[in-house]
Amino acid sequence: MDSTYYNIGMFRQNGEITSVSSRNTLISIFILKNFLFFMSFRSFFLPLTIILGIFLPSFQQFSWLISPLLSLLLFLSFLQFSFSLSTFLNKKIFYVTILNIFFGVTAGIVFSYFSRDIGITAFLISIAPTAYASPVAIAMLGGNIAFATASLLISTISTTILLPFLLLFLFGTDGISLIDMGISMSKVILIPLFFAQSIRFFFPHIVQRYKKISKAGFWIWGVAVFLAVAKGSQFLLTLPKSEVLEALLIPSGLAFFLCFLHFFVGRKVGGSQYSLEMSQALGQKNTLLVIWIALQYYSPLIALGPISYVVAHNLYNSYQFAQYNHTSQKNT
């Protein structure tokens, strides 16, 4: 999770979304200058969060905080969004949601042949919506922020509506109530969206005055990931030593494979105009949402997959930033 968000439609010309080049626009120069250090710290903060979670498994007793932390994180994120209907006229934005559903259902069915838990893990990873850090990453890579923010919003809302039905249809109820899951997801996602947009509409001066508070999102994300890792670490301690390696390698291998697949397919589907935007929107995922679902309704073993995906997509982003900076330096 990153600490800055962008309004939908902020890059617009004659009502249409336009591409943004970091080399010839002031906003991209500003972002690169102000976030270079932050992204370096973020690269350090992620492994630190995971290491602390591994060595402090006793904090798993506070894993119940993941749900309210996720709601607060989404509220701060949605507070920065303003809607413009013309932004959503680009059909490629909807491809992200369609591909998320396609990959989720396909991965769930295919990997269920190995085991039900692996199938659920693959489904949750693949159907996860676009991450809230995606617009920042796209901006730093010289891409179209409006496209990224719109796909983020659409994929998040559609996932909230469809995920409970698809999950229980593919893998059975297993004692889980569809209504209860739907209500829980609505509380976590749709209610923060409603209150955030209500505040934007009725009290816009408050949003402007406390705009810097959105930076707290990065720390909220870090605490939530720490608690999720602690929960997974505690679970691994309960396993026989002979099963620990398998419990780590299978979800991790699956996560890295799906990460590569999502980024690759997104780049191909995006074409020459939106290859970066589609790649990031499809590959950089809000894994915290599906980590919460895995811990709430299934098991820490299934949550290990999305936790591994956090590492995978951040490693890929680090590679992209390095390549982009190298290319920019050669061209200057």
| CA distance linking residue 225 with residue 239, whole number of Å | 22
Domain map of the chain by residue range? 18-331
Whole-model pTM?
0.80
CATH dotted code for 18-331: 1.20.1530.20
What does the pLDDT read at residue 307? 92
CB distance 256 to 312 below 8 Å: yes
Strand, helix or coil at 118? helix
What does the alpha-carbon distance between residue 84 and residue 79 come to, in Å, rounded to a whole number? 15
Mean pLDDT of the chain, nearest integer? 81
pLDDT at residue 152 greater than cutoff 80: yes
DSSP structural state of residue 128: -
Instruction: Write the pLDDT tens digit of every residue in 245-267.
Output: 889 999 999 999 999 999 999 99
Q: Is the pLDDT of residue 11 over 60?
A: no
pLDDT: is 123 or 74 the higher one?
Answer: 123
Per-residue model confidence (pLDDT) at position 317? 82
Q: Which of 127-141, 151-165, 218-232 has the lowest mean pLDDT?
A: 127-141
Is residue 32 pLDDT above 70, yes or no? no
Max avg pLDDT among 38-42, 93-97, 185-189, 262-266:
262-266
Pick the range with the lowest mean pLDDT from 24-38, 74-88, 189-203.
24-38
The CA dihedral of 34, 37, 38, 41, to the nearest 10 degrees, is: 180
